[in-house]
Amino acid sequence: MKRKGMRAGASIAGAVLAGVLSVMPVQARIAASEDGQIFRLDGGNVTYAFGVTKGGLLKSLYWGPKLAEADRLEAVSPRELSSVDPSSSIDTQEYPGWGGGLYTEPTLKLAYPDGVRDVVLRFVSYRIADDALLVEMADIARPIHVTLRYTIDPETGIVGRSATIRNDGKVPVRLDQASSAAWSLPVGDDYRLHYLTGRWASEWTLQERPVTAGSTVIESRRGSTSHQANPWFAVDRAGLSTEENGPVWFGALAWSGSWRISVDRDPIGDVRVVGGFNPFDFAYRLKPGAALETPIFYAGYSGQGMGGASRLLHRFELDKVLPGAPSPKPRPVLYNSWEATEFAVDEQGQMALAEKAAKIGVERFVMDDGWFGARNNDHAGLGDWTVNRTKFPNGLKPLIDKVHGLGMEFGLWVEPEMVNPDSDLYRKHPDWVIAMPGRPRTEQRNQLVLNLARPEVRDYVLKAVDDLVSRNDIQFLKWDHNRNWSEPGWLGVDPEDQQQLYVAYVRNLYWIIGELRKRHPKLEIESCSGGGGRVDLGIMGLTDQVWPSDNTDPYDRLTIQDGFTHAYAPGVMMAWVTDSPNWVNNRSTSLRYRFLSSMQGGLGVGANLNKWGDADFAEAARMIAAYKQVRQTVQRGDLYRLISPEDGSARSATFSVARDGKQAVLFAFLHSSTKIDVLPKIHLAGLDPARRYRVRAIDAVPSADDPVASGAYWMGVGIDVPMKGDFQAEGRVFEVVD
Ligand code: GLA
């Protein structure tokens, strides 16, 4: 139903730390023009606008710094170039269907049983409900309807977009592509695309390339988010944008299945970003009356460079996405047994580690892989979620009681979506896996993927984990997912519906985790996928923290964490202090260096404590105590990447400023010393210039001799952080004095 008149539909009051320290009340406003032809969303420091052309196309109009309320956007006329350039292709559309002479990337592509594969969507109506703008579109001839949903976050200006495609006809329609949104940037030849790629133990590598004519595709065809590319992008402008200045448009998909984001510069020079379900191998049959909803594609704008963009995303994740938002619980310091014991876990060994972990201030003890079924290595046992009685003759209770008695929470590793062919579950239900009839079942890490799309598998997995958590006093699960899909078939289902797997699996995964959380409201969960293979805004809505990488080398972690924080908050980024030399690269580093590297996110310890001496325990206890003093700032504050470990200099540094501005923490690393380097001072950022801050070493007790100066001083003059040698690290705490 179309409502007339300019109206501020969803008026959401909120408050934001605009800039750095000043609290400025803002409003989110979603409004339509009198004639219902122009739509405008305002939130944070951002305006997003689109309109209806004379022909009924939905045309993108503006996305950038906030406009004045009285500003009128241009009347929407289709762009005319020549009679051979259809306006459908040269106008940037909000949600273009493939049809009617569209040559640019569509958001929707479909096929009818009679061979028609043309869809031309036209504006029908709009309404504003529940803080969202809903725009109805329909095909010019057939009963296919699309509802576009728009929201804007009042604090960060992050826009959320998704689409629901509905078949209101009498015959099925096959969707070959169903994206969440198309985002457009005005004509320009200086755009640069930033995105994140990687592989196992090497995730979160920041890539940069100019956005030239043509297309860049980042995607996962693997059934899950992937290590190889992450569903995040940022576009800035060469010459204008830096880490702390200039325009950056960015976005992230809330989806943990196969996905694709394409970034195109069309022949006119517009940049178009289209993202959502990966159309590769996508074929979703919509029966009459059925609908498909896409994941949400979130996107935002910052005028404060890449640093500003990531601070907006971090806030959005912490305040709007994570379980417990806007006040997700601080991450406890955890111990994890994996690197110490691998599969050789048993009651005595774990108890001994737990005693040592408790001594240094660990708050959560997590037993990793190896505790269940015939799991003595990675060849057997996955799927059989019963305690291994050889390793735990009396079940898990004695260990859990011991851990609780030591004042720690207890957590457990699980990988519920997987099965080893050598397991009781697989012997009983060989058809429960993702596979195609008569084709090999390609194994990775000796395992197959359970088909969560099947209701009986969904129920089995929920029950197995629910039983485990109900029968044992478990506060935390590390939820792993160690392989990608292959032969992605759904045994026993009509071949025409098999590819619904790509959607149904992920939706069921979300449902299972959501249901578990409902049944066990105190349970916390970590998303792990052979390291950082499943980190995205979808899984983040259901999990409290993520494991960015199996690579625990503290120097490698600096670049991993630098890439990670471009998209995701330090408050979810777990990092463990492990043994030296590190198994990844045989690099030796001091315990202090390992701690300071890991303290930039959620701190964990994964070292073999049986090998530690008294001095190690004393140092660890001191560093963990120091971490607890600053973790609120590190996990929830504003992150400034002062010197990137990727920019080639001998040093790198990060700086976190608490939201109330009262504390800030500097982590500085010297990668290697050559000759007699005189290191420049480090210039801080984000402090209140007018307030005075006292500075001390992160693990030192405050003293009257600690230097005191204004925020202006620390930012303008900078601070000396003396370091000499290879792999050196220092931490400084800034505390407001008055
Ligand atoms: C994955 C995880 C590791 C560990 C192992 C256990 O690789 O990323 O941290 O849990 O599985 O098999």
User: What string of DSSP letters covers 497-526?
Assistant: GGGGHHHHHHHHHHHHHHHHHHHSTT-EEE
658, 691 contact by CB (below 8 A): no
DSSP 460: H
Distance 131 CA to ligand 1 centre (A): 41
179, 277 contact by CB (below 8 A): yes
Quote the pLDDT of residue 3.
32
Q: Among the atoms of ligand 1, which is closest to the Cα of residue 378?
A: 12
Percent of the chain with pLDDT over 70: 96
What pLDDT band is residue 84 in, cutting at 50, 70 and 90?
confident
* Residue identifier of the C-alpha nearest atom 8 of ligand 1: 530
List the Cα angle 228/234/237 in 5-degree steps.
Answer: 135
Q: What is the mean pLDDT of the chain?
A: 95
- pLDDT value at 366 more than 90: yes
Look at the block and give the residue holding tokens 């710094």.
65
CA 209 – CA 194 distance, rounded (Å): 7
- pLDDT value at 317 more than 90: yes
- Dihedral angle sign, alpha carbons of residues 39, 41, 47, 48: negative
- Tell me the mean pLDDT in the region 539-549: 98
CA 734 – CA 685 distance, rounded (Å): 12
- pLDDT value at 16 more than 80: no
Quote the pLDDT of residue 24.
36
> What is the per-residue pLDDT across 399-456, written as a single tens digit (0 to 9) for each?
999 999 999 999 999 999 999 999 999 999 999 999 999 999 999 999 999 999 999 9
The three-class DSSP label of residue 561 is helix
Select from 338, 526, 605 the residue to mutate for testing ligand 1; criterion: most ligand atoms less than 8 Å from CB.
338
539 Cβ contact partners less than 8 Å away, ≥ 6 residues apart = 225, 256, 510, 527, 546
Distance 339 CA to ligand 1 centre (A): 9
* Residue identifier of the C-alpha nearest atom 7 of ligand 1: 530
What pLDDT band is residue 678 in, cutting at 50, 70 and 90?
confident
Select from 224, 225, 334, 369 the residue to mutate for testing ligand 1; criterion: most ligand atoms less than 8 Å from CB.
369
Q: Among the atoms of ligand 1, which is closest to the Cα of residue 547?
A: 8
What pLDDT band is residue 8 in, cutting at 50, 70 and 90?
very low
Pocket of ligand 1 (CB under 6 A): 338, 368-369, 413, 480, 482, 528, 530-531, 547, 550
DSSP 213: S
Q: Among the atoms of ligand 1, which is closest to the Cα of residue 528?
A: 8
527 phi/psi in degrees, rounded to 5? -90, 115
* Residue identifier of the C-alpha nearest atom 12 of ligand 1: 369
CA 298 – CA 568 distance, rounded (Å): 13
Quote the pLDDT of residue 5.
32
Quote the pLDDT of residue 82.
86
- pLDDT value at 77 more than 90: no
Quote the pLDDT of residue 35.
87
Quote the pLDDT of residue 78.
81
**What residue spans of 599-653 are helical by DSSP H?**
614-636
CB atoms within 10 A of CB 588: 11
- pLDDT value at 669 more than 50: yes
What pLDDT band is residue 105 in, cutting at 50, 70 and 90?
very high
Quote the pLDDT of residue 83.
84
What pLDDT band is residue 162 in, cutting at 50, 70 and 90?
very high
Quote the pLDDT of residue 677.
76
The three-class DSSP label of residue 228 is coil
* Residue identifier of the C-alpha nearest atom 2 of ligand 1: 530
* Residue identifier of the C-alpha nearest atom 11 of ligand 1: 530
**What residue spans of 568-710 are helical by DSSP H?**
591-598, 614-636
- Tell me the mean pLDDT in the region 155-171: 98
Residues with catalytic annotation? 480, 550
Distance 435 CA to ligand 1 centre (A): 24
Distance 480 CA to ligand 1 centre (A): 7
Task: Beginning with the edge strand found earlier in the chain, give each strand of the sheet holding 708-710 in spatial order.
Answer: 638-643, 651-657, 663-670, 728-736, 692-697, 708-710
Distance 478 CA to ligand 1 centre (A): 9
Supply the pTM of this predicted model: 0.96
Quote the pLDDT of residue 234.
98
* Residue identifier of the C-alpha nearest atom 4 of ligand 1: 338
What residues does 184 pair with on adjacent strands?
A: 272
Question: What are 576's two structure tokens?
Answer: 């463990």
- Dihedral angle sign, alpha carbons of residues 549, 553, 554, 556: negative
- Tell me the mean pLDDT in the region 556-570: 98
Based on the number of CB atoms within 10 Å of its own CB, is 74 exposed (0-12), middle (13-18) or buried (19 or more)? exposed
CA 372 – CA 474 distance, rounded (Å): 15
Q: Among the atoms of ligand 1, which is closest to the Cα of residue 531?
A: 8
Question: Among 232, 196, 215, which residue's Cα sits nearest to residue 266?
Answer: 215
Give CA separation, 208 vs 211, 308, 610, 664, in Å: 9, 18, 44, 30
476, 412 contact by CB (below 8 A): yes
CA 360 – CA 599 distance, rounded (Å): 15
Distance 338 CA to ligand 1 centre (A): 7
454, 498 contact by CB (below 8 A): no
Question: Among 648, 665, 672, 677, which residue's Cα sits nearest to residue 726?
Answer: 672
Quote the pLDDT of residue 34.
86
535, 546 contact by CB (below 8 A): yes
> What is the per-residue pLDDT across 383-400, written as a single tens digit (0 to 9) for each?
999 999 999 999 999 999
* First vs last C-alpha separation in the chain: 57
Distance 265 CA to ligand 1 centre (A): 40
Quote the pLDDT of residue 9.
34
128, 114 contact by CB (below 8 A): no
Query: E strand or H helix at 273, and its extent?
Result: strand 271-277
Lowest mean pLDDT among 7-11, 230-234, 325-329, 634-638: 7-11
Distance 642 CA to ligand 1 centre (A): 32
Look at the block and give the residue holding tokens 């607890």.
628
Based on the number of CB atoms within 10 Å of its own CB, is 389 exposed (0-12), middle (13-18) or buried (19 or more)? exposed
pLDDT top residue among 474 and 79: 474
404, 356 contact by CB (below 8 A): no
What pLDDT band is residue 92 in, cutting at 50, 70 and 90?
very high
